[in-house]
Amino acid sequence: MATPTVSKSILDSDNIRYDASARTRWRLGFDRVIGWLLPLLFVVAIAPILSLVYYISARAIPSLSWQVITSTSPYQTDAMGVPIIGTFELMLLATSIAVLLGLFGGIATAEFLSERTAGWVRMSANLLVGTPSVIVGYFGYFTFVIFFGWSLSLLAGTITLAFFMTPYVFRTADLAFTSVPSHIREAALGSGARPYQYILRVGTPIAFPQILTGIFLAMAIGVGETAPIVLTTAGGKIPPQTLFSPVSWMSSLIWQNFAQAPSTGLPTIAFQAAFLLLVVVVSLNVVVRIISSRYRRRLEGLYA
């Protein structure tokens, strides 16, 4: 994408500045001042993160160790092994379903629907993105746990979380395919490509980094969700054995343990889980960055 140049205005060169009118000097001065003030706003965004990360790490790191993270023993209260496995399994299943639904849906919307229908579909996707997760969780409880009779299980949690994550993937796939440059699209179709050939051979490679970014972002958002999982799963002490077993989810662990009395040692578990989640989220973000920057160079050539 075109990166605006950071060069200053031509007015700012020496030979103009001294002869400039008062108004021009004011304009230049204003620009310079803004140029120093606006970046300070970064502090507003970054200071809270630093404070938050420091606070969580300070409470979590002293008691964390490789042993704590990998232990799945039911005899150890602060063993993180089982929550990590449970979270990993649930995320894997939910992401697979969300990617399946979202990818197919997004591509179909971008390529096959008329503008009017696509508008309605996109609006429902946007609505879903903005829905509080507690509503999705409540829906999941009512539909899967009670109505379908699945009880509090890995399956109920998976489908609910997948429903929650699908709109993000959907929107990303939709956006990615609509922003394939039209001259490339027309060239492909004009050369006689069938629609599925266009999607597979031309659209996907171009849209791939953006879609991948969207998937990782959906994962980052999904892994931090509490309400949908608390309402559809029961906590487990051993890794899930069937689709209908209880499963331990790290965000639930945080919610349930942070408010307990410190003498029980339980808040430490909450902070440990919070710290691990932060690590996961940061890693996902880093991966997203890497993908974006690697493929950005590749795509630069596409745009005239």
Partner 1 sequence: MSSTDKLSGSAPMRKRTGTVGMGVAIGIAVVLLIVGIAGGYELGTTLNKSSSTSTIQLTETGSSLLYPLMVSWGPNYTAYNSQVVLAPESTGSGTGQSYAELGLVNIGASDGYLSNASATSLINLPVAISAQLIYYNLPGISAHINLNGTILAMIYAGAITTWNNPLILAAQSPGVATQLSAISNTIVPIKRSDSSGDTFLFSSLCYMSWSGWPYKYSTSALSGSPWTGATGNSGVVAALQKTQYSIGYVGISYESTATGLTYAAVGNDATLANGTYAAAGSNYVLPSATNISQDANLALTHLQFSQYQLALSMILGGTANGAINITLGGGGTLPPTGETPYPIANLEYTLIKTSPTGTTVTSSALAATVHFLQWAISYGNFAPNGSPSAYIDKVNFIPLTPEVIGYDQQELASVTT
Partner 2 sequence: MSSPDPSTPEVREPLPASGPEETGSTPQSARSFLARIVPLVPALIPLGIMVAIVIALVAETGFTNFGIEFFSLHWDPVNNQWGIGVFLLGSLITAVPALIFSMLIGLGIAIASTTYLPRFLSQWLDPFVDLLAGIPSVVYGIWAFIIVAPYFGSQLEPWMVMNLHFIPGFGGPINTSGLGILISVFILTLMALPITTLLIRDALRSVPRDLWESGLALGATRWEVVRRVAIPHGRRGIFSAAFLGFGRAFGETVAVAMIIGTATVLPKNVYDIGNTMAAQMFELLDSAIGGTGSPQFLAAIAEMALVLLGISLIVNILGRRLISSLYTQQIQGL
3-state SS, residue 270? helix
Contact 264, 172 (CB under 8 A): no
The answer to the question of residue 84 lying near partner 2 (CB under 8 A) is no
Per CB under 8 A, 266 contacts partner 1: yes
CB 81 within 8 A of CB 75: no
Near partner 2 by CB under 8 A: residue from 79, 95, 152, 225: 225
Q: Is 302 in the site for partner 1 (CB under 8 A)?
A: no
Q: How far is the CB of 280 from partner 1 (least distance, A)?
A: 22
Rg over alpha carbons for the chain, rounded to the nearest Å, is: 25
Rounded to whole angstroms, how far apart are CA atoms 143 and 50? Answer: 40
| 67, 74, 282, 298: residue in contact with partner 2 (rule CB under 8 A) | 282
- How many whole angstroms separate alpha carbon 189 and alpha carbon 106? 20
Cα diameter, the chain? 81
**Residue 15 interface partner, choices partner 2, partner 1, none, CB cut-off 5-8 Å depending on type:** none
Q: Interface with partner 1 by CB under 8 A: which range of 60-68, 162-170, 220-228, 236-244?
A: 236-244
262 binds partner 1 (CB under 8 A): yes
Which among 34-42, 62-70, 77-85, 234-242 is the span making contact with partner 2, rule CB under 8 A? Answer: 34-42
Q: Which residue number, 71 or 256, has a Cβ lying nearer to partner 2?
A: 256
* Footprint of partner 2 on 159-188 (CB under 8 A): 163, 166-167, 170, 178-183, 185
- List of residues 6+ apart from 259 with CB closer than 8 A: 267
Selected from 20, 184, 212, 234, the binder of partner 1 by CB under 8 A is 234
What are 180's two structure tokens?
């394939």
| Token pair listed for 160 | 């609910």
Contact status, residue 145 vs residue 232, Cβ threshold 8 Å: yes
Residue 275 one-letter amino acid: F
**Rounded to the nearest whole angstrom, what is the least distance from the CB of residue 75 to partner 2 in the complex?**
27
Position 91 contacts partner 2 (CB under 8 A): no
With contact defined as beta carbons under 8 Å apart, do 43 and 247 qualify? no
The angle that helices 154-178 and 81-112 make with each other, rounded to 10 degrees, is: 40
Q: Is 194 in the site for partner 1 (CB under 8 A)?
A: no
CB of 19 to partner 1, least distance (A): 42
Interaction pattern, residues 256-275, with partner 2; x per rule: CB under 8 A: --x-----------x---x-
- How many whole angstroms separate alpha carbon 29 and alpha carbon 74? 66
Choosing among partner 2, partner 1, none, which partner's interface includes residue 214 (Cβ < 5 to 8 Å by kind)?
none
The 65-104 contact track toward partner 1, x by CB under 8 A, reads ---------xxxx---------------------------
The end-to-end CA distance of the chain, in Å, is: 11
Chain position carrying tokens 């508008």: 119
Judged by beta carbon distances under 5 to 8 A according to partner kind, the member of partner 2, partner 1, none in contact with residue 71 is none
